[in-house]
Amino acid sequence: MTTPVIAPPTCPPGLPALGSDPTGLAARYLDSGLECTKAVIDGLGSYWVGALKRAATPFDVAADVTRWWQVATERREPTWSTPHKVVLSSPVARLRDFSEGSTDDVVPTLVFPPQAGHDSCIVDYSEAQSQVKVIRAAGLTKLFSLDWVGATQETKDSSIDDYLEFVDRALAHIGDGPVNLVGDCQGGWLATIYAALHPERVSTLTIAGAPIDFYAGNPVIGDYVKFHGRSGDLSFYESVVALGGGVLKGEFMLNGFITIKPESEIEKQLQLLANIREERHVERYRAFEDWFKHVQDIPGAFYLWIVEHLFRDNKLIAGKLEIGDELVDLSAISAPLFLLGGATDHITPPAQVFALEDHASTPSDQVVKRTTSGGHLGLFMGSEALREHWPPIMAQVFEHSKSGSSGARREGARKRAKAQTPERKREISAP
């Protein structure tokens, strides 16, 4: 949930011929086409096998299709799942306090959610799948989360400075001492930039699915940047922002994510049809689609800055990124690092996340790297990540955050955090 979409609002027109494509996009689309075909065959086959087993009549099939269409097209606004208070707000962001009055002697934690045209509540996705609940259960009870506000005509010119200024305000509200920063995707590189500019404010830094080296790992978004930036300028991206009246429309981001890997969308919709009579699956589908299809806009100026300085020029890892008059030097970061990637993450390959280790000054014995078996969104709300990876990471963060902590206390924190998320046999198909 994450990086700026580098795909056009619809399937890219005029892709180069397979044999003369320096970006690799034509080959990617050929593979994707084959996967789409497989998803259709598998999905429809699964439905009809089930229909034959239960001796479904034509009326039963018609009822299934009718309900499938209803569920697939009805959306509700996503919500946060854990009790909290909004304690600070601005035109670009809010600060949500999940501490519930905690007086525990523990370092505060601030979560930076993804910002990719979706609601920030993915970090508190549901009662059963919540980063927020896992972090609190690990003992990090002084917990806060940023919440990105969708862009309007009044905020279309907001910049990186506006977001960093709000982070400053948030940390001032939280307290004077160092804070644990936890960043997902776009929130991860923003937290990293802040940590490099203000290392004295950071106790630990955790990032998940966050690109630090935007060229590493043969990323599909990198191929789009090369394809649409062949002339060396930002004209394509500027035209997308102009089409949105000065903002990057959330609908464009959503369509871009789907276009990058359309087989996931096909598989998800046909999974719904095959399981339309299973209420648990239907509710899980609805919960995901309510979040995924509920979009918000991004300030055009901020989006163009991201494309130019990060995705195109890769200035963060090159040591050439400047915020105002200050150079963002990753070697200024010496706090313990916790880096989480997804083995099948086609949006932010693990190499992009793990690159931070090579450029920060954190001792190697204070760097933890973990890899889930899943994809991008699963890093933030998937059952595997929330049961097997976030609990040990947050338990170690807790160990750094609590005076007199021990290995036994860390193990207890891990177990409590893991217990927050039930095990699932199969996830909803997602990017």
pLDDT tens readout for residues 144-176: 999 999 999 999 999 999 999 999 999 999 998
Q: Give pLDDT, residue 34.
A: 87
Sheet-wide strand order for 93-97:
85-89, 93-97, 143-148, 109-112, 179-184, 202-208, 337-342, 367-372
Going along the chain from its start, the domains and CATH numbers come out as 23-422 (3.40.50.1820)
Name the β-bridge partners of 323: 326
Sheet strands (E) in 49-103: 85-89, 93-97
Q: Give pLDDT, residue 116.
A: 86
Q: Give pLDDT, residue 259.
A: 83
Q: What is the mean pLDDT of the chain?
A: 88
> Backbone phi, then psi, for 108, in 5-degree steps?
-65, 155
CB atoms within 10 A of CB 427: 17
Q: Give pLDDT, residue 406.
A: 53
Helix (H, G, I), strand (E, B) or coil at 428: coil
Cα separation of 98 and 109, whole Å? Answer: 10
Q: Give pLDDT, residue 411.
A: 76
- Which of the two residues, 176 and 208, has the higher pLDDT score? 208
CA torsion angle for 80, 85, 89, 93 (degrees, to 10)? -30
Sheet strands (E) in 311-394: 322-323, 326-327, 337-342, 367-372
Q: Give pLDDT, residue 417.
A: 74
Question: Among residues 306, 225, 297, which one has the least CA distance to residue 12?
Answer: 225
Helix (H, G, I), strand (E, B) or coil at 201: helix
Question: Among residues 286, 207, 298, which one has the least CA distance to residue 256?
Answer: 298
Q: Give pLDDT, residue 2.
A: 36
H, E, C per residue of 94-147:
EEEECCCCCCCCCCCEEEECCCCCECHHHHHCCCCCCHHHHHHHCCCCCEEEEE
- Confidence band, pLDDT 50/70/90 cuts, at residue 230: low
Query: For 352-363, how does the pLDDT look when each residue is reduced to its tens digit (9 = 90+)?
Result: 999 999 999 999
Cα separation of 365 and 384, whole Å? Answer: 25
pTM equals 0.88
**Is the model's pLDDT at 1 over the cut of 80?**
no
Name the β-bridge partners of 14: none
114 with 60: CB under 8 angstroms? no
Query: For 250-281, how does the pLDDT look when each residue is reduced to its tens digit (9 = 90+)?
Result: 999 888 888 878 888 999 999 999 999 999 99
**Is the model's pLDDT at 15 over the cut of 50?**
no
